Amino acid sequence: MVPGAGNNEVPAVEINDGIEGIRSVTMHRLKSSVVRRWDFTVSHHSWWRRLTPSQLFVGSFGLLILLGTVGLKVLPGLYTETPLTWEEALYTSTSAVCVTGLIVVDTATRFTPLGQGFVLLLIQLGGLGMIAFTSLIILALGGRLSLCHESVVSAAAESAPEVDPRHLVYDIIRFTVLIEAIGAGLLYLLWIPRLGWRGAIWPAVFHSVSAFCNAGFSTFSNSLIDFQESTGTLLVIAGLIVAGGLGFSTLQEISPWIRSQRGHRSFRVSLHSRLVLLTTAGLIVGGWLMFAVLEWGVTLKSLSPWHRLSNALFLSVTARTAGFNSIDYAQAAESSNFLTILLMMVGGSPGSTAGGIKTTTFALLGLLAFSRLSGNESPHIFSRTLRKDITDRAVGLSVLAFGIVTVGIFSLSITERGSDSGAFLDRMFEVVSAFNTVGLSTGISASMTSTGKAIIIAMMFVGRVGPLSFAAAVGRPIKGSAQFRYAYEEVMIG
């Protein structure tokens, strides 16, 4: 009992219970308020958690392009002359992030070394993808990748399902740093006589990164035309381009295969990698011979036979996705430019920094056509049959890519009508180069209208993220899991 309470005496237990009750109600209301605020914050700020892997992948490139555009416009010390306009900044940022190489301003003379470094940063981030870099940071800090993040990493590199995305991230960074360092070292040694001990450092680093990422940006105003007679330079750049265009999954298999050959152990290279290597070699050799024949007496006529052959080889390699040029394509034969267009459409290999429909898609189309002509129901190679859903995907991707390029060419022929942006083949060359993130040009980029440049920007973006990824990102998912089909009916073809 509480002393002195008289008739109003209240048991101490009841007082304590009342105090605890008030405290409990107060804490409950406080917690409810905090939870409501937290729910609002989560629902307001975690909208990105509801994004699909395709939307996150495509959105990361869009965000990087936006940041690059703003950086090119507002950061000080990037230019030797007046800063870029918003249009020029957007075009340059898109070209760098999408590792294309098409330019409307001269990278060598318009940018300071700091500005060139900023462009190189966009190239490196765009070539490997922001997802790979953010994943590396998360893993380095001891974090764990979310399922969505792992899906994006796997999709971006198009790795095999059994490959651990965390190991894939480490391998991507490891291969990139190693190959770019070797390339920079070789270029530095080759360019010391021409540029000096100090002057060769930055160009060697810049071109090594740009070549491995298949970007095509150069610190030289005329790209590599001045190195026509430097066979070593052309071979090193070509090697970097091929390495960057093989795909990281193929690079992962090459190293253990080489070790197995030295140790006389057995190691089976996957069908994917064998198809990539075979198709890449066939395209390089075939293009080499054709360019040598077509340009022997045209743009290469002033060179010795040895340098004609080395330049023809370089033309075959760079045409598929790199964007460096050792000749002036405006002076090349029309047959050579059309051959370049065909090679640009094929591009590099899946999971690489290259664009195009990819070497495996091209190979699958050839195998499918051969199997149909031979009367076989399913295409096969290396004693392996290719699944129907894979060949269907290859056909669908090719049709979609052909449709997008056709729309781009048609649109550009309308917007550039009456302008000084070249003939039809030049515009076709520009659209194909942009969509397949190659970067080669006949020199009409800067003279196009603003609408024409916007078309090229769209082509570069869709080509970099991939038509299928872009369609999956912007398309609406079909609700419901019910699968059905309508009745068959025959249609005549052929």
Q: First and final CA of the chain: distance in angstroms?
A: 104
Mean pLDDT, to the nearest integer, of 300-328? 93
Average pLDDT for 132-155? 48
Highest average pLDDT, of 39-48, 161-170, 183-192, comes from 183-192
* pLDDT at 10 > cutoff 50: no
Asked if residue 493 belongs to a domain, the reply is no
Same domain, 22 and 132: no
d(CA 66, CA 90): 8
Residue 494: inside a domain:
no
pLDDT, average across residues 255-282: 81
Q: Distance between CA 394 and CA 415 in Å, rounded?
A: 32
For residue 479, is it within any domain? no
Is 376 within a domain?
yes
List the structure tokens of 387: 């699944």
Please state, in angstroms and rounded to a whole number, the distance separating the CA atoms of residues 231 and 253.
29
Locate 108 and state its tokens. 């060598």
On whether both 112 and 177 belong to a single domain, the answer is yes
Q: Confidence band (pLDDT; 50, 70, 90) for 182? A: very high
Q: Are residues 141 and 17 located together in one domain of the fold? A: no
Residues 3 and 86 in one domain: no
Q: Is residue 487 part of a domain?
A: no
Rounded to an integer, the average pLDDT of 302-314 is 95
Residues 87-109 as b/e (b if ≥16 CB within 10 A, e otherwise) read ebbbbbbbbbbbbbbbbbbebbe
What per-residue string of b and e applies to 1-16 under the rule 16 or more CB within 10 Å gives b?
Answer: eeeeeeeeeeeeeeee
Note whether 193 and 216 are same-domain residues.
yes
Question: Same domain, yes or no, for 25 and 86?
Answer: no
Residues in the chain, total: 494
Query: What pLDDT is attached to residue 454?
Result: 95
Q: How many domains does the chain have?
A: 2
Quick one: average pLDDT of 474-494?
A: 66
CA angle (15, 19, 24) in 5-degree steps: 145
State residue 8's pLDDT score.
Answer: 45
Higher pLDDT, 422 or 8: 422
Distance in angstroms (rounded) separating the CA atoms of residues 419 and 478: 44
401: in domain? yes
pLDDT value, residue 25: 46
* Mean of pLDDT values over 308-319: 95
- Look at 20-34, 81-95, 294-308, 359-373 and tell me which has the smallest mean pLDDT: 20-34
Answer yes or no: do 56 and 41 share one domain. Answer: no
pLDDT at position 321 is 84
Q: What's the domain range around 40?
A: 1-45
Residue 34: the pLDDT is: 42
Predicted pLDDT at 18: 47
What is the pLDDT at residue 483?
Answer: 61
Is the pLDDT score of 241 beyond 80? Answer: yes
Instruction: Examine the domain organization and report whether 422 and 468 are in the same domain.
Output: yes
Q: Let me know whether 40 and 62 are in one domain.
A: no
Q: What stretch of H or E contains 380?
A: strand 380-381
Give the pLDDT confidence score for residue 264 in this predicted structure: 67
Q: What confidence score (pLDDT) does residue 380 get?
A: 84
> Which pLDDT does position 32 carry in this prediction?
47
pLDDT in tens, 188-218: 999 999 999 999 999 999 999 999 988 989 9
Beta carbons of 123 and 217 less than 8 angstroms apart: yes
**pLDDT at residue 3, rounded to an integer:** 42
Residue 327 lies in a domain: yes
Average pLDDT over residues 387-403: 89
Q: With CA atoms as reference, report the closest residue to 216 among 91, 98, 359.
A: 98
Using alpha carbons, select from 96, 62, 99 the residue that is nearest to residue 107.
96
Q: By CB neighbour count within 10 A (0-12 exposed, 13-18 middle, 19+ buried), where does 111 fall?
A: buried
Q: Does one domain contain both 28 and 56?
A: no
Most confident of 154-158, 373-377, 477-481: 373-377
Give yes or no: residues 379 and 457 share one domain.
yes
The whole-angstrom separation of Cα 354 and Cα 241 is 9
> 123 or 252, which is more confident?
123
Question: In the predicted model, what is the mean pLDDT of the chain?
Answer: 81
Lowest mean pLDDT among 217-221, 248-252, 463-467: 248-252
Q: In angstroms, rounded to a whole number, what is the distance separating the alpha carbons of residues 58 and 152?
A: 10
Cα dihedral sign, 384-390-395-399: negative
> Mean per-residue pLDDT for 467-477?
68
Residue 478 pLDDT grade (very low, low, confident, very high; cuts 50, 70, 90): low
Integer CA distances (angstroms), 241 to 89, 182, 358, 422, in order: 26, 13, 14, 28
Residue 263 lies in a domain: yes
Same domain, 15 and 138: no
Model pTM score: 0.81
pLDDT value at position 12?
45
Check whether 6 has a pLDDT greater than 60: no
Q: Please give the Cα distance from 418 to 160 (Å, whole number).
A: 49
Residue 255: count other Cβ atoms within 10 Å of its Cβ.
11
Residue 233 has which token pair? Answer: 């330079």
At 237 the three-state DSSP class reads: helix
- What's the confidence (pLDDT) of residue 282? 95
pLDDT value of residue 489: 79
